[in-house]
Amino acid sequence: METKRELYAKADLSPSTLIPHDLNSPSPLLSVLPSTFSPSSPTLVIIEAVMFYLSPPAVNSLLEQSLTIPGGTTVLVDNLAKAGCQPGGPANVLKERCGEVGKKYGKVLGEHKAIWGGAIHMAEFQ
């Protein structure tokens, strides 16, 4: 988190809050949000290079918690294989599979790019 804070400062960006969270912790993601969190404010949850290391239930829990935060949430993710989005196939098929992950939580897939045959997804859900 300290590196991210330094990068934000260097880019002259001022995020309102950066919140670290141990994804192996049994504490729900929403439980670590500060009391100043406003569900009506846009929220960006970044899930970055972590899903490879989590069990399928932990991945699904993380997605559910992240994609259901109110307030116009956008979630950027990396690997979705453990959420049922298997790699392989043309780009339009990979995008469709990725979109299905978001639909389970009422979200629409916006920007999307897959690399390494769909092993990694850069996806924006709104």
Segment 93-107, tens digit of pLDDT: 999 999 999 999 888
In this prediction, residue 13 carries a pLDDT of: 64
- Angle value at C-alpha 85, between 21 and 47, nearest 5 degrees: 20
Segment 65-87, tens digit of pLDDT: 888 877 666 777 788 888 889 99
In this prediction, residue 95 carries a pLDDT of: 95
Number of domains within the chain: 1
30: containing domain: 23-125
pLDDT at residue 61 tops 70: yes
Contact 101, 85 (CB under 8 A): yes
Q: Is residue 55 part of a domain?
A: yes
- CATH code, domain carrying 68: 3.30.110
In this prediction, residue 88 carries a pLDDT of: 93
Determine the 3-state secondary structure of 33 from DSSP: coil
Tokens of 116: 């390494």
Tokens of 40: 């009506």
